Copies of this chain bind each other. A is one copy, B any other.
């Protein structure tokens, strides 16, 4: 049985000539274990117990590098800080539902078939009409989660 080789972030860094360092290992492992969409400070806090010696600066630098190499995906949900998540087959393209009150984020990838088809169709139309080379799209829904709706 043939299986697609999983290229993890270490290989990806090596490919590009970057070093595999202790801070980088720790930071990426936080992303792997934490899940969700942590921001830089949240990564820092989660690291403080195990590796209190890693500076926030390094976290920012590592994150920026990983985003550049496609290891992490960067999101901006409008709550004042960038959020990130590991980019892989599982977390790949998906959309979000964001609570405007408590910032809870739900992600979904069970797109309707029509959904995927139509987005492509729109994208093609726009590329021609506006002479753009479209690389990606964001479709996020904003509103109130159950709890925040109830609490008036």
Contact = CB atoms under 8 A, between A and B. Distances in A.
Contacts of A130: 97, 106, 108, 145
Specify how many copies of this chain sit in the oligomer. 2
A112 B121 contact: yes
A58 B122 CA distance: 40
Given A78-B76, A118-B118, A137 B139 contact: yes
Interface residues of A, number: 36
A76 B138 CA distance: 12
B118 A146 contact: no
Interface of A: 76, 78, 97, 99-100, 106, 108, 112, 114-115, 118, 121-123, 125-127, 129-146, 149
